[in-house]
Structure 1
Amino acid sequence: MVPKNNQIKTLMTCLLLAALLSPAFLTSVNGQSSGLTVGEWPLDEVKPSGSNVVTPDVSGYNYGIIGGDAHPELVESKFGKAMQFNGENFVYVAVKFVVGFPPMSELMYVPISPGLDIQKYVEIDAWIKVAGYTDEPYNNIVVKCDHPDQKCEWQNTLRVLGLSIRANPTEAGNGYVEGALSGFVMTDTDGFNEIVTNEPLPLNQWVNVKFTRTSTGMHLYIDGQEQAVKVLEGIQNPRGNLVNGTEYYFGHDGLAIIDNVRIIDLEPADITEDAFDIGPNITLTVIVVAVIFAVAWLLRRAIQLWIIKPKI
């Protein structure tokens, strides 16, 4: 006989899956035979969404939430409008978030945009115009982060994938020139790996920057030309799958104008057509999850009372 606690956990899991797979919350991701753009943000528009200010992506589902006391400004760019970051603001894109309600004893992740968790080969592409550098070692263009201990605090944040500009080389140990372009991945086999260009990016000039991780390793490109690089940490062709993350940040800790960010899965799985993204319905999803756990808690109490009720 299955213990009552296990029955309750099974019921809770089924309720949660039923809600997350409901057509009201799911949006199909279109599969392609080779290379799948899982997110594209023109960064040329902001609009209110509930209590947040957001910038949409091309699909309309992976909204970026504007963060920072002073929001990034929309300025003229190579392709119309783009976002100018001041080192203290950013765009936040959720991949999944952490929830925990009674009677759960442990926190769990609820997927928001699982398509952004690329497993193998990836490309990050953007247009940027760099005005200067902050004192932070990583002036981020695009960075994907994870919270392995499920505590959403910045002290517990790991960078697992990204394209950045390296600054403050004295602070970081003189392993690169200031202004070098950096690309990095964390894999489940070889840990953290990073490459940097030998030459700095030009200032106050529009350039297209790209980072790829393919079967031949990690590569960096400026205006379509592959750059000579050095390995700053790990190896250039790490083994294993990419570590999943909880969110992306654009422009974090950087002084750049950023335009048209794209994230591409270079080897989408065969099941991509059946994958789903919850999209921007975060608030509604949280409410539904809360209701589900509340119902599960009431069911648990009812079962407990039934178990201890005297048999007449």
Structure 2
Amino acid sequence: MDLRQLRTFREIAEAGSLSRAADRLRIAQPALSRQIRLLEAEAGLALFTRHGRGMDLTEAGRELLARVAGPMRQLERAVVEVRALAGTVAGQVALGMMPTVAAVLAGPLARRVAARHPEVSLRVVEGYTGHLVEWLQRGATDATLLYGPATDFHLPVEPLFAEPLVLVGPPGSGLRAEVPVTLADAARHPLVLPSRPHGLRAIVEAAAGRARLALSLRHEADSFLVLKDLVECGLGFAILPRSAIRREEAEGRLLVAPIHRPVVRRQVVLARPPDRSPGRATRAVLDLLLEEVRARAHDGAWQVSTEGR
């Protein structure tokens, strides 16, 4: 088994067909077929099922891809980092984010990276906390944002910021940004929340549990866009970070009210892999991330953590 076979395997898995992978790699299809046959012979199992529309991974193929994708990416990145030692910062950096954070940070961070380090390619990977931790440990991402507190993880973790959550309702709901509601009042509204693997759901349920409140759950939506649409259509209320819905609030499509007694906050932390140091490109992106977080704190919505800095 060699790196060329694994690279071919990964490309075919991502492309879904031998012909598309051949076009991407600019290698003749027979040569790719031979590499896959050799890899399957060494594995002792079929890695793909072939059909008229292309090729799909078998269970063994999916397991192999999950195990080799991260290490392969780290090897490829290492070569890029070594080549760049004498020149500009270059390479691909994969950064994990929760959807409500990505909605605020992804675009501005990508613009900062493009302006300061044009040879760096930023890939933002959205997911739940459990997925984000797994991808970081496997090497699929170089760093990730997670919901804190930092003590919840056995990873190198740095606190970033905290932000209060607000009750979000449709136009005509009567919510006002200058009139707080209690958590008990918020819990009585028909709520639209993410499902339980989502970090925001855990934060809201933990706050309600401490206050001995039952939530009136109406709908669940794991997609942040769908969740906002359900609220805007009048199908329920949400509990969200205000920074993630600034545009909809400004346009009058969503109304907000602060939550107090008690205030419900989310903490966001930055986690790094436990077994490898960040390369130059990753360090450069994380420096720009901290700049963007500080810039976003100027409006008073975020409380930037200085712990560990």
TM-score range, shorter chain: under 0.3
TM-score (norm: length of structure 1): 0.22
Question: Which structure ranks higher in relative contact order (CA pairs < 8 Å, sequence separation ≥ 6)?
Answer: 1
